[in-house]
Chains A and B, each alone.
Chain A
Amino acid sequence: MSAAVTADAHELAQELTTARGLLRFATAGSVDDGKSTLVGRLLHDSKSVLSDTLDAVQRTSEARGLEAVDLSLLVDGLRAEREQGITIDVAYRYFATPSRTFILADTPGHVQYTRNTVTGASTADLVVILTDARTGVVDQTRRHAAVAALLGVPHLLLAVNKIDLVNFDQQVFDTIAAEFCAYARELGIPEVTTIPISALHGDNVVTRSERIGWYTGRSVLEHLENVDLTDDSADGSLRFPVQYVIRPRSDELPDYRGYAGRVAAGAVRPGDEIVALPSGLRTIVTTIDTADGEKDVAVAGESVTLLLADDLDLSRGDLIAGVQDAPAPVTEFTATVTQLAERPVRAGTRALLRYGTSTTRVVVTSIDHLLDIDTLTYVDAPAALALNDIAQVTLRTAEALPVEAYRPGGAVGSLLIIDPADGTTLSAGMVGDRRAALHHPRTASRSGSPVVTTTTAGEESA
């Protein structure tokens, strides 16, 4: 390395060690909308692809007789997919620019893979939906937008791809954008952006296109770098699911008893009064411990260990909550679930329920409605849920759980229904009625409003 290179690298290393934001986003689109090409283009044009990876893609493109390098090959991971030319599962990609770090969940576009879109979007701050300028807003576009809305994803970006194939016609773009924005507004999505692009040629992907003069907005990457990421998960009352009890039982620390976990919502400080659920016992947090020393405060997302003033004998599965609006433990509640497995779930199905760090027996008491994802209306419930169905169900648990309405990101109010025989994840759910929440996205997502609570703790001994 020359001295100049070394100096530049040094400067850059400094620059890249400074604080930067993290954006988690997901991509969705129909099979031929060019999603893999867009993702390949983002990785390539943001200089995230390293030379030997690119060499391999170049060789493969040549071997297949293609004139240009097929960037979609950068993201087609498994041989099974390459042979069939499809993407069968969520793939995670990592790239960074000097302003932000990105974790991308790349989800396949097949109609039958709605479950993967749900998975990819479950923790996303933003979802990019691709559509073909020649076909516009199709069922699949509306379906992806609806899934993003149900999960509470705050930002939606519609990339109208192949704009070169409609001669960069502004009229075409405006019609698609207007139709999509109207639909997204119905869904109650707080922020929607539309951008005309050509993933194949790179127009408006990383750099702004000169060929689309009538469009004066940001490129896709610029939008990803600038979208507002205000996070209010540290506001409000503490939610701290206990993962593990730390007891050294050593000569130096014979009585140390710490509750290890990750703050799911709110913040905690030494001296705070808390309530342990489902027991309802109250005490004071004395210490927030970590391997790096004690902390004055821990906020949502941080893994810490809490020490309490009284020995409440908590264990994995218990919830430590702020005393203000602590959820009441219940044994029956409703949830919006997505069926993830081929194995059907029906009224009467007995399974395991995972909520926070707790696992308990559950019975599906009823399938109340099936959600038609194209019209977002309830239709008659089927006898059994099939793969990719989204439905409103009522669940009854063996033990009372402090469940509360789902919040975007899923740190609060998310659940899994698990087959006790082999551990298969049958369905994933969001506590409450997410369709009803669509029309009141703000209140429903943040208020911790009560869900159906027909049975209170203690009444049920299933």
Chain B
Amino acid sequence: MTTIEKTPAARVAGPHLRALESEAIHILREVAGQFDKPVILFSAGKDSVLVLHLARKAFYPAPLPFSLLHVDTGHNFPEVLAFRDRVVAQGGLRLQVARVQDWIDDGRLTERPDGTRNPLQTVPLVDTIAEQRFDAVIGGARRDEERSRAKERIFSLRDSFGGWDPRRQRPELWGLYNGRHAAGEHVRVFPLSNWTELDVWNYIETEGIDLPEIYYAHEREVFQRQGMWLAPGEWGGPSTRETLQRRQVRYRTVGDMSCTGAVESSATDVRAVIEEIIVTRITERGATRADDRLGEAAMEDRKREGYF
């Protein structure tokens, strides 16, 4: 890359970020006002860290009126799990972990032949929501992430199987979010709906929000598969035909190690990450999530099944 066009896919502004912050805080307070047992999905990925940050601001100086839930595939980055536990301990927060391994052990789930566990998260998530009777499940998904998410509501109604039916979604007018639901149903809530990747990073910089260190450039043993740099781990890779190399990389999303790729990078701080994003022409999920490549409608199908 040698030249840069001056009109990138970038949106940032002081007042613009404050408006997004006020909107997100308004949404989170609506959740507290309308639901009995809300929970924040917390993976310690940057979007969930941001949701937690905004939620704590929304109810300051009172304690957070939500608990946290993490669906652990068993293939998560150890650095990210350590970060998660640190945040929970320091903030005096309540975290419940639903382990995919437990569902495999008792036969409710079967390991896939390819070893990836990302698609296996849906069942533990939906089971836990039902067991705990969570009525609002707050997530960090954004509409700019993927095409099928562009139509997602901020309050998204799910049936008792966690399923999402585009034709049952309620029109959302003005700032009136309708959280009413029938018994057994729940509502997924997305306070970051109107944020873009760059908004998230700019806000992280402005607010000085801590993230797991793997979001910044570091040296790591990786191998290449389908154009992505993957890290070896308990989940399986590399195969005999794939060779490990030492590269300077960072992660743009932190999910299951089997399908979350690193990008080569020299960005060791937030500002450098922002600059890399401005020059890059690769969308976030496409660059680093193998499971979205399964098919054009992959995300739509998983959402119908109850995935985020």
CB-based contact A423/B178 at 8 Å: yes
CB-based contact A410/B12 at 8 Å: no
CB-based contact B194/A92 at 8 Å: yes
CB-based contact A12/B287 at 8 Å: no
Query: Which residues of B from 281 to 303 have beta carbons under 8 Å from A?
Result: 281-283, 286-287, 296-297, 300
CB-based contact A19/B10 at 8 Å: no
CB-based contact B297/A47 at 8 Å: no
Contact partners of A48 in chain B: CB under 8 A: 9
Contact of A12 among B22, B175, B278, B280 (CB under 8 A): B278
Contact partners of A340 in chain B: CB under 8 A: 170-171
Contact of A47 among B5, B57, B151, B176 (CB under 8 A): B5
Given contacts A20-B16, A122-B174, A354-B176, contact A98 B30 (CB under 8 A): no
Contact of A91 among B151, B181, B202, B279 (CB under 8 A): B151
Query: Which residues of B from 38 to 67 have beta carbons under 8 Å from A?
Result: 56-63
CB-based contact B178/A354 at 8 Å: yes
Instruction: Pick from B95-103, B141-149, B212-220, B237-245 the stretch touching chain A.
Output: B141-149
In this assembly, does B11 line the interface, its C-beta being within 8 Å of a C-beta of chain A?
yes
Contact of B62 among A2, A6, A246 (CB under 8 A): A246
In this assembly, does A183 line the interface, its C-beta being within 8 Å of a C-beta of chain B?
no
CB-based contact B143/A301 at 8 Å: no
Contact of A244 among B29, B150, B151, B170 (CB under 8 A): B29
Question: Which has the most chain A C-beta neighbours within 10 Å: B18, B60, B266?
Answer: B60
CB-based contact B150/A243 at 8 Å: no
In this assembly, does A46 line the interface, its C-beta being within 8 Å of a C-beta of chain B?
yes
In this assembly, does B8 line the interface, its C-beta being within 8 Å of a C-beta of chain A?
yes
Contact of B173 among A256, A357, A428 (CB under 8 A): A428
Nearest B-chain residue to A121, judged by Cβ: B173
CB-based contact A303/B58 at 8 Å: yes
CB-based contact A52/B22 at 8 Å: no
Contact partners of B281 in chain A: CB under 8 A: 50-51
Min CB gap A418→B, angstroms: 6
- In the assembly, what is the distance between CA of A13 and CA of B7, in Å? 11
CB-based contact A17/B2 at 8 Å: no
Nearest B-chain residue to A48, judged by Cβ: B9
Contact partners of A92 in chain B: CB under 8 A: 143, 150-151, 193-194
CB-based contact B57/A22 at 8 Å: no
Contact partners of A93 in chain B: CB under 8 A: 144, 150
In this assembly, does A302 line the interface, its C-beta being within 8 Å of a C-beta of chain B?
yes
Given contacts A20-B16, A97-B7, contact A4 B26 (CB under 8 A): no
Q: How large is the interface on B (under 10, 10 to 19, 20 to 34, 35 or more residues)?
A: 35 or more
Query: Which residues of B from 48 to 106 have beta carbons under 8 Å from A?
Result: 56-63
Nearest A-chain residue to B171, judged by Cβ: A119
Given contacts A2-B2, A97-B7, contact A22 B13 (CB under 8 A): yes
Given contacts A116-B171, A303-B29, A423-B178, contact A96 B10 (CB under 8 A): yes
Min CB gap B198→A, angstroms: 8
In this assembly, does A367 line the interface, its C-beta being within 8 Å of a C-beta of chain B?
no
What mask results when residues 1 to 45 of chain A are scored 1 for a CB within 8 Å of chain B, else 0? Answer: 110111011101100111111100000000000000000000000
Contact partners of A97 in chain B: CB under 8 A: 7
Contact partners of B280 in chain A: CB under 8 A: 50
Contact partners of B113 in chain A: CB under 8 A: none
Contact partners of A78 in chain B: CB under 8 A: 148, 151, 166, 297, 300
Min CB gap A356→B, angstroms: 9
- How many A-B pairs fall under 8 Å by CB? 240
Contact of A410 among B25, B173, B279 (CB under 8 A): B173
CB-based contact B13/A416 at 8 Å: no
Given contacts A416-B176, A428-B171, contact A49 B9 (CB under 8 A): yes
Contact of A256 among B29, B61, B148, B180 (CB under 8 A): B61
Contact partners of B167 in chain A: CB under 8 A: 88
Query: Which residues of A from 323 to 344 have beta carbons under 8 Å from B?
Result: 340
CB-based contact A52/B287 at 8 Å: yes
Contact partners of A415 in chain B: CB under 8 A: 176
What mask results when residues 155 to 172 of chain B are scored 1 for a CB within 8 Å of chain A, else 0? Answer: 001000000001101111
- In the assembly, what is the distance between CA of A415 and CA of B175, in Å? 10
In this assembly, does A422 line the interface, its C-beta being within 8 Å of a C-beta of chain B?
yes
Contact partners of B283 in chain A: CB under 8 A: 50, 52-53
In this assembly, does A281 line the interface, its C-beta being within 8 Å of a C-beta of chain B?
no
CB-based contact B174/A409 at 8 Å: yes
Given contacts A52-B286, A77-B147, contact A95 B169 (CB under 8 A): no
Contact partners of B107 in chain A: CB under 8 A: none
Nearest B-chain residue to A413, judged by Cβ: B174
Min CB gap B100→A, angstroms: 27
Contact partners of A425 in chain B: CB under 8 A: 170-171, 178
Min CB gap B175→A, angstroms: 7
- In the assembly, what is the distance between CA of A243 and CA of B177, in Å? 12
Query: Which residues of B from 215 to 268 have beta carbons under 8 Å from A?
Result: 266
In this assembly, does A373 line the interface, its C-beta being within 8 Å of a C-beta of chain B?
no
CB-based contact A423/B144 at 8 Å: no
CB-based contact A423/B4 at 8 Å: no
Nearest B-chain residue to A263, judged by Cβ: B22
In this assembly, does A421 line the interface, its C-beta being within 8 Å of a C-beta of chain B?
yes
Contact partners of B7 in chain A: CB under 8 A: 46-47, 97-98
Given contacts A98-B6, A410-B173, contact A9 B275 (CB under 8 A): yes
What mask results when residues 169 to 206 of chain B are scored 1 for a CB within 8 Å of chain A, else 0? Answer: 11111111011111000000000011010100010000
Contact partners of B5 in chain A: CB under 8 A: 47
- In the assembly, what is the distance between CA of A53 and CA of B148, in Å? 13
Contact partners of A96 in chain B: CB under 8 A: 9-12
Contact partners of A91 in chain B: CB under 8 A: 150-151
- In the assembly, what is the distance between CA of A9 and CA of B5, in Å? 10
Contact partners of A79 in chain B: CB under 8 A: 296-297, 300
Contact partners of A247 in chain B: CB under 8 A: 62
Given contacts A244-B29, A422-B181, contact A89 B151 (CB under 8 A): yes
5 A-B pairs (CB sep. < 8 Å): A17-B12, A53-B283, A256-B61, A261-B29, A303-B58
Query: B interface vs A, CB < 8 Å?
Result: 1-16, 18-19, 21-23, 25-26, 29-30, 32-33, 56-63, 143-144, 147-148, 150-151, 157, 166-167, 169-176, 178-182, 193-194, 196, 198, 202, 266, 271, 274-276, 278-283, 286-287, 296-297, 300
Known contacts A88-B166, A411-B175, then 13 further A-B pairs from the complex at CB < 8 Å, ordered by chain A residue: A8-B4, A16-B10, A16-B11, A17-B202, A20-B13, A53-B283, A78-B300, A94-B11, A95-B11, A260-B29, A410-B176, A416-B176, A418-B178
Query: A interface vs B, CB < 8 Å?
Result: 1-2, 4-6, 8-10, 12-13, 16-22, 46-53, 56, 60, 75-80, 88-98, 101, 103, 115-116, 118-119, 122-123, 243-244, 246-250, 253, 256, 260-262, 289-292, 301-303, 305, 316, 340, 352, 354, 357, 409-411, 414-416, 418, 420-425, 428
> Considering the complex of A and B, which 3 residue pairs feature the smallest CB-CB distances, nearest first?
A423-B180, A410-B174, A96-B11
